Amino acid sequence: MPEKYDAIIIGSGIGGAAIGALLAHAGRNVVVLEKNKLPGGRCISYDRDGYLLDLGWHFFCLAEKGPLGEICNRIGMPGIIPWNTVKNTYLQIGEVVEKYTKKAMFAAVPEPDRGQLEKLFTKVFTITDEELEKLWYVPVEQWVHSFTKNAMANTIIDSFVCQYFCIPSTVASTAEFIRAFRDVMVAKASAYPDGGNTAVPTAYLSAMEKLGGTLKTNAGVKKIIVENNTAVGVVCEDGTEYRAPLIISNADISVTVLDLVGESHFPGDYVAKIKGLTYSIQGVVLRMVLSEKVTDKQCVIYIPDENSPPLKVTDQMKRGEVPDLVAGCYGSPTNFDPSMAPNGKQLLTSLHGCPPDITDNLDRWKEALVNSHMKVFPEAKGKVEKVWIDPPKLVNAFAGEGGNIIGVAQTVDQIHERRPSVVSPLKGLYFSSAEAGGHGIGTELAANSALELFEILKN
């Protein structure tokens, strides 16, 4: 006999874990089915030789002041995520290192373009709702060029866009960028949790279990059962069957629609839309273990030159070449949580945009990233004990989708009402992830998707 629940959630990433906690708090009997041994999706953290490593190194931009914190409040458990606010952040452009401030950004741009960049920043905070509504389908680059075409000014804005959405400003939505940028600047709450990135989905899943929900790992879903044009259950890889009136996918929306259900159960135009979706860029992560602590810097945004914003896949990379120095977000997880490394050691980590497959150039990427680390953390010279490089295929192994960093990209043709809805055309099937609905940056996009879906389902 199949196991019966009120809701079945496929995947335990931020969106799946969050909707699980919200529904459990509302009294629903829920089960989360996770294909991997470790829960958390792209937000897993795992042990390697005594070091706790994140699948992808990143911060949570709004932390407790955004949707991630709102979920904790909604389930009556504020404070369950052990946040450490980011306080010691720097901007390095070439050889110049400054505290990460607007003043440092403006100083990198020559007059008269400096004044134009300042006007752009002012506009972010003074723009009206009516003006913003007209910018959903305008690329950020086009909007920036209405202020300045200076290369460094554009690179500085592109660095925000690429770090937020993992797509370049040539295709990112201006309205989405302005909303996200304004939220971050006002909240001043960017944080990193004790226990690494996995602390966030783990907190939601633990709360869900306390509220009566169930988490099953190593429980990959093989197919979604459809009866009478309604999703009514799932069958796992091991043959176990589960039934529920609500089937919620936190997995890749394309895999869900085309493989787990089958396109014959959806309207043709919806299938075409799903097949045409594009995703965010892939990323490569470097981990460097030091014999001792050498820096107190928590985060450094590194821009080698005016043509290389952090997390952008440059034309040089697309040609298969590896830059000598690579822009990115550099930092030390152990400056937030020392327990992520053995006593006395320091862990340095960096995240960078890269082509989908860098297997043939992996040694060259490793060399370039180590050299870049030494530019950012010269104190590390002579202290390096281990170096690990994780290419996109590692993310792909855990989360699929070719190892992209976020999911369905927030491009001008996939934003606002052009984005897939959290409600599918198939009765009983819903989405809670960075693949559908929502607003915000990465994990917060997924959390907002969960909140959006919960508002629909709670009645």
- 7-44 tens-digit pLDDT: 999 999 999 999 999 999 999 999 999 999 999 999 99
pLDDT tier, 72 (very low <50, low <70, confident <90, very high otherwise)? very high
pLDDT of residue 288 exceeding 90 = yes
> Checking DSSP bridges between strand 241-243 and strand 230-236, what pairing results, if any?
antiparallel
Whole-model pTM: value is 0.96
Q: In what order do the strands lie in the sheet with 346-354?
A: 96-99, 89-93, 299-303, 328-331, 346-354, 282-290, 384-390
pLDDT of residue 260 exceeding 90 = yes
> How far is it, in rounded angstroms, from Cα 213 to Cα 48?
30
Determine the length of the chain: 459
CB atoms closer than 10 angstroms to residue 289 = 21
pLDDT in tens, 100-130: 999 999 999 998 899 999 999 999 999 999 9
> How far is it, in rounded angstroms, from Cα 15 to Cα 435?
9
